[in-house]
Structure 1
């Protein structure tokens, strides 16, 4: 029993490492998005886009058999944190351009 549990925990740890790598990739892309938005005078947060992203991820999660509310909560958190990161990047880019 203990050996099986350790194996299952190792599998979860591996999935967690993969998720973190994907989140890191998402943040790399957000850096490019922030630069594009600064260059084109766009705001960091576009409410319609945020709503659409969360709804699509929620629907995709449901199709995969995941709990709908849990998926929405996870994506709301991911989107909120990446928006905050994007806002900081954009502020820094704008400050650098003013010098």
Structure 2
């Protein structure tokens, strides 16, 4: 990967963004694998899909990383809350089927 400041033209810049997007999709797939496993464990242990304290813990952790990286913490919080909401919905659907 090139450093953004080393991108001299738009095609190069776009190629780098496209590569990052592919990496993000792979990371999301891996994260979803952990969510799927969480469903199994939660089902086996009678736990609900939504555990509010855990949601807030996750959000606080990613906001702290964002702040350390000088990234907009509100943006990161919004993205993660969407990701978490989607994950909880997915978990709840599977748990209801069991």
Moved over 6 A (4+): none
Matched, 1:5 2:7: no
> What CA deviation, in whole Å up to 9, does each residue of 1:21-77 have, x standing for no partner?
010111111111101101110001000000110111011111011011111111111
TM-fit CA distance, 1:89: 1.7
Aligned mates of 1:8, 1:89 — CA distance in 2: 40
Aligned mates of 2:84, 2:48 — CA distance in 1: 15
Matched, 1:70 2:80: no
Matched, 1:36 2:41: yes
Unpaired runs of at least 5, structure 2: 1-7
Aligned partner of residue 31 in structure 2, secondary structure = helix
Aligned mates of 2:34, 2:80 — CA distance in 1: 16
Query: How many residue pairs were aligned?
Result: 91
Between 1 and 2, higher relative CO (CA 8 Å, sep ≥ 6) is seen in 1
1 or 2, which has the higher helix percentage?
Answer: 1
RMSD across aligned positions (CA)? 1.1
